[in-house]
Amino acid sequence: MKSRPWAYVLVRLVLIIGAAVGAGLIFGYPLAWVLGSLIAYLGWHLYHLYLLERWLRIGGRQPPRDAPGIWGTVYAELYHLRSRHRERKKRLSRLVKEFRKSTKALPDAIVVLNADHEIAWVNRSAGDLLGLTKGDRGQPVDNLIRDPVFVDRLRSGGLSRPVRIQSPAQRDVSLMLQEFPYGKRQRLLIGKNVTAEERLEKVRRSFVANASHELRSPLTVVSGYLESLIEDDELPEGWRDPVLEMGKQTGRMHAIIEDLLTLSRLETAEAEAEREPVDVAGMLALVRKDARSSSGSPCSMELQLDCSSGLLGAESEIYSVISNLVSNALKYTPPEGTVAMRWWCDDLGAHFSVTDTGVGIPAEAIPRLTERFYRVDKGRERSSGGTGLGLAIVKHALQRHGAGLEIESELGAGSRFVCHFPKDRLALECASGDAQDGPDSDQETPDADNVLPFRNMS
Ligand code: ADP
């Protein structure tokens, strides 16, 4: 019966009514007997309801009283429910305590934000690194962390990429902030102290820059003497080839040093490039002209200009991007091949591509191309005069313009390098040449002091 309490209630009710009817038949007034017994039964239930309400009011903590019939089942179920609930609560609060203890021990700042970027919870490190305390709960986080780059990224929803800021709480402390969405439109803002890494990176950069700088002068002297020797008619014939080779190698060393210095300049510059108007069409025509004259490459070059806008950026860096990509394309394309440049704009921004029908790049090498000194075929490329730094320079220069590099290639069929510039880098006023694959343009050379020389492909 215990497993079917309602059957028990019904049987009991039927028995009571049956007994009342029986008594009514024996003593008369059966209806009054039935009514009376039903009222007594109802009163009994009301009494137990009263006891139950009292038991619940005092918290229902004591074991349930020994109640008869369905009330026993109700007490037992409620008691079980409460015990389970209490257990779960205990487990949860243990878990929360553990979580709090572990986040306290974390060296990273952790801030829980709601959908409106208001602070819901902070850990202890958030106080040390970001100056946020428990009392800031409910405040919009951009009222308290006022770094313009951070505020900008937060409002535009771009904090899924880490952003570097100065700690608002401690001088000379750099933080990397990144947001992770979770739950129902909640976000976890994590701040990592990157001061030590930054210092190490600075030391490395200045070492490379200083070493390159120091090497430049002695190398200039050595190459000067070598040039004189090469031009000297009295140089013994047996010496000519070794001296020529030495000249070639010092030239390569020079190119590496210049590229290292360019890279360290790009790395130490502000994260965002300046916004000077750059005439891209004119620059492309100039690059094509320079490439034709300096490379001596017989492969054909095409130029397609589908956009009259220029860019807002650093002229020398954009020139460096274009010339590096074009010189690579020429270097790795056979004389009967084609190198095509294209400049176009669309809703996403502006794009520049260099497509060649050259040797191509194996798929597994593509993700590593922008690493310093990475070469697909070490022997061949060293002999072709490359420094292995060209694409690293391209990547850094593009990053400073908020632009990305896309590489597609098929081994033996050719490669396509596409630079995607964001819309806010478009200079609409800068209308230039309709040099649609026309003859070499005579447009003005970009400021000679700022522009890197076209990369030599010899
Ligand atoms: P490098 O000065 O050696 O050309 P880069 O950084 O410019 O150095 O290029 C890195 C490597 O990427 C090159 O050594 C070459 O293997 C490969 N590469 C770059 N551009 C092309 C291309 N257009 N076709 C084939 N391989 C290329």
How many whole angstroms from 391 Cα to the centroid of ligand 1? 7
Let me know whether 128 and 91 are in one domain: no
**pLDDT value for 3:** 60
Q: Which atom of ligand 1 is nearest to the CA of 333?
A: 24
The pLDDT value recorded for residue 280 is 95
C-alpha separations of 428 from 52, 350, 423, 434 in Å: 79, 11, 10, 15
At 151-173, the pLDDT tens digits run: 999 988 888 889 999 999 998 89
Shared domain check, 292 and 165: no
Same domain, 377 and 422: yes
**pLDDT band, residue 297 (cuts 50/70/90):** low
Mean pLDDT to the nearest integer, 233-251: 90
Mutation pick for ligand 1 pocket among 260, 354, 369 (CB with most ligand atoms within 8 Å):
369
Query: Which domain CATH number covers 203?
Result: 1.10.287
Tell whether 388 and 285 lie within a shared domain. Answer: yes
* pLDDT tens, residue by residue, 56-110: 888 766 776 777 888 888 888 888 888 899 999 999 999 989 988 888 888 999 9
DSSP string, 215-271: HHHHHHHHHHHHHHHHH-TTS-HHHHHHHHHHHHHHHHHHHHHHHHHHHHHHHHS-S
**How many Å lie between the centroid of ligand 1 and the Cα of residue 351?**
20
Residues in Cβ contact with 259 at an 8 Å cutoff, skipping those fewer than 6 apart: 387, 389, 390, 393
Tell how far the Cα of 256 is from the centroid of ligand 1, in angstroms: 14
| Same domain (yes/no): 367, 442 | yes
Q: Which amino acid is at 315?
A: E
- Read off the pLDDT band of 370 (50, 70, 90): very high
Both tokens assigned to 15? 């028995």
Residue minimizing CA distance to atom 23 of ligand 1:
329
> Which band of pLDDT confidence, cut at 50, 70 and 90, is reported for residue 429?
low
Do 244 and 284 belong together in one domain?
Answer: no
Tally Cβ neighbours within 10 Å of residue 354: 24
Tokens of 239: 């010496």
* Predicted local confidence at residue 381, as pLDDT: 55
Q: Judge contact between 111 and 180, C-beta under 8 A.
A: no
From 78, 99, 120, give the residue that closes a domain. Answer: 99
- Give kind and range of the element (H or E) at residue 426: strand 426-427
Number of domains in the chain: 4
List phi, psi (to 5°) of 202. Answer: -65, -45
Is residue 27 located within the same domain as residue 149? no
pLDDT band at 144 (very low <50, low <70, confident <90, very high): very high
- DSSP secondary structure letter of residue 159: T
Q: Across the chain, what does the average pLDDT equal?
A: 86
Judgement on whether residues 234 and 141 belong to the same structural domain of the protein:
no
Residue 66, pLDDT score: 78
Question: Which of 167, 193, 219 is the last residue in one of the domains?
Answer: 193
Centre of ligand 1 to C-alpha 367, Å, is 12
335-345 confidence digits (pLDDT tens):
889 999 999 99
Whether 111 and 70 map to the same domain: the answer is no
Q: Whole-model pTM above 0.85?
A: no
pLDDT of residue 431: 43
Residue 172 domain boundaries: 106-193
At 218, which amino acid appears?
A: P
Q: How close is the Cα of 373 to the center of ligand 1, in Å?
A: 10
Q: Measuring CA to CA, which residue among 242, 225, 317, 319 is closest to residue 281?
A: 319
Verify that 423 and 342 share a domain, yes or no: yes
Of residues 353 and 267, more confidence is placed in 353
d(CA 368, CA 376): 9
Ligand 1 pocket test, candidate residues 381, 382, 407, most atoms within 8 A of CB: 381
Pocket of ligand 1 (CB under 6 A): 324, 328-329, 332, 356, 358-359, 361, 369, 374-376, 381, 386-392, 415
Q: Are residues 93 and 163 in the same domain?
A: no
Find the distance separating the first CA and the last CA of the chain, reported in whole Å.
99
Mark which of 71, 99, 127 sits at the end of a domain. 99
- Tens-digit pLDDT profile for residues 163-217: 999 999 998 899 999 999 998 889 999 999 999 998 998 898 889 999 999 999 9
Residues 216 and 338 in one domain: no
Nearest CA to ligand 1 atom 4: 386
Give the three-state DSSP class for 348. coil
Question: Residue 365's CB: how many other CB atoms inside 10 A?
Answer: 15
Q: How far is the CA of 375 from the centre of ligand 1 (A)?
A: 6
